[in-house]
């Protein structure tokens, strides 16, 4: 797990944008897994700006979102589909037929989830899965005690998640109690994972994910078993990490290694690994 610590939210966003831009523009990634939330929102703003500058192109990109609330229509102002349409899909040249989304109003929940898994496989799997992390260490809506081998399915949300989402709804009874979500096993099959976290409220979760045991009580900890994970956090979210100095040292020397590799590519004409 490559842990990158940046000064603040703005620096996290800048690094995340450069990471995603590289995968789209130079490594040929064409299938993205996308989250919602405050930290991804800043990344989406940067991607929209990059698209307008001609730095990124979404014409051939397929997207799969991590999750959706059960019981909300796509045009509901608090649905994740509406969030993505407002903040990314309608702002770039993504083709509507290449946008894949779990329905919040499925006729058959099991069939909807099976169809989603099948669609991912038919496109060769997700090349880059972008993630946020919940305060209790969940990824997607894989709440604590979720199976680390789980597939796309329905999930009952914890009281903490419902309370976190309360501010987005007029009444407490309007907050969804269930969602459809990619499973932890589904997420772990992505070729590469990028996880973003900012703010002191995420510090315990980040520490548990990076340095704690692999456990269903912190589903993000399963990322320790993935071979290509990059975690970009700000100083506040990194506050509880015991080995933060090592991560800073590693980032510095990884950058130097990257420069060495790039110089060798220029000299010998080798293409970047995908």
At 126-176, the pLDDT tens digits run 999 999 999 999 999 999 999 999 999 999 999 888 888 888 888 888 899
Give me the pLDDT at residue 171, please: 87
**Measured between alpha carbons, how far is 252 from 174 in angstroms, rounded to an integer?**
47
If you average pLDDT over residues 182-202, what whole number do you get? 98
Give me the pLDDT at residue 260, please: 59
At 46-82, the pLDDT tens digits run 999 999 999 999 999 999 999 999 999 999 999 999 9
Q: For residue 159, what are the CA distances in angstroms to 139, 143, 170, 175?
A: 16, 10, 17, 11
Give me the pLDDT at residue 190, please: 98
Catalytic residues: 67, 136, 138, 143
**Measured between alpha carbons, how far is 93 from 100 in angstroms, rounded to an integer?**
15
Q: What rounded mean pLDDT belongs to the chain?
A: 93
If you average pLDDT over residues 83-111, what whole number do you get? 97
| One CATH from 1.20.1070.10, 2.40.128.20, 3.40.50.720, 3.40.50.1360 for 2-242 | 3.40.50.1360
> By three-state DSSP, how is residue 85 classified?
helix
DSSP E strands: which ranges in 101-260?
A: 128-131, 153-156, 178-181, 192-197, 229-234
Query: Rounded to the nearest 5°, which phi and psi values hold at 260?
Result: -65, -45
Give me the pLDDT at residue 270, please: 59
Give me the pLDDT at residue 1, please: 93
Split at pLDDT 50, 70, 90, the class of 222 is: very high
What global pTM score does this model have?
0.92
- Residue 24 makes CB contacts below 8 A (sequence gap 6+) with 56, 57, 58, 61
Give me the pLDDT at residue 256, please: 62
Query: Residue 110, Cα to own-chain centre: how many angstroms?
Result: 23
Give me the pLDDT at residue 48, please: 98
If you average pLDDT over residues 79-88, what whole number do you get? 97
Sign of the alpha-carbon torsion through 162, 168, 171, 174: negative
**Measured between alpha carbons, how far is 222 from 128 in angstroms, rounded to an integer?**
17
Split at pLDDT 50, 70, 90, the class of 257 is: low
Report the 10 Å Cβ neighbour count for 213: 9
The residue among 102, 120, 134 whose CA lies nearest residue 32 is 120
Instruction: Name the residue with higher pLDDT: 137 or 270.
Output: 137
On the question of pLDDT at 121 being above 70, the answer is yes
If you average pLDDT over residues 206-211, what whole number do you get? 98
**Measured between alpha carbons, how far is 66 from 73 in angstroms, rounded to an integer?**
16
The residue among 80, 22, 66, 67 whose CA lies nearest residue 47 is 22
> By three-state DSSP, how is residue 269 classified?
coil
């Amino acid at each position: 797990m490559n842990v990158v610590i940046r000064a603040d939210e703005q620096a996290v966003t800048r690094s995340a944008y450069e990471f995603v831009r590289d995968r789209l523009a130079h490594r040929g990634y064409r299938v993205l897994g996308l989250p919602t939330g405050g930290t991804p929102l800043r990344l989406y703003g940067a991607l929209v700006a990059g698209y307008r500058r001609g730095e990124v192109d979404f014409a051939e990109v397929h997207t799969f979102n991590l999750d959706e609330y059960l019981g909300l229509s796509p045009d509901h102002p608090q649905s994740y589909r509406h969030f993505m349409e407002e903040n990314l899909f309608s702002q770039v040249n993504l083709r509507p037929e290449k946008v894949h989304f779990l329905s919040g109003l499925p006729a058959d929940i099991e069939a909807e989830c099976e169809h989603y898994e099948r669609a991912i496989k038919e496109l060769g799997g997700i090349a880059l899965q972008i993630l946020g992390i919940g305060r209790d260490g969940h990824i997607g809506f894989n709440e604590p005690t979720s199976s680390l081998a789980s597939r796309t399915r329905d999930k009952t949300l914890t009281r903490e998640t419902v309370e976190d989402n309360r501010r987005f709804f007029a009444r407490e009874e309007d907050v969804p109690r269930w969602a459809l979500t990619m499973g932890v096993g589904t997420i772990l099959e992505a070729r590469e994972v990028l996880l973003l976290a900012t703010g002191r409220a995420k510090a315990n979760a980040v520490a548990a994910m990076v340095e704690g045991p692999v456990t269903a009580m912190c589903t993000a900890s399963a990322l320790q078993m993935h071979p290509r994970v990059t975690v970009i956090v700000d100083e506040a979210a990194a506050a509880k990490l015991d080995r933060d100095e090592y991560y800073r040292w590693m980032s510095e020397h990884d950058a130097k290694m990257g420069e060495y590799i790039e110089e060798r590519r220029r000299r010998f004409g080798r293409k970047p690994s995908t």
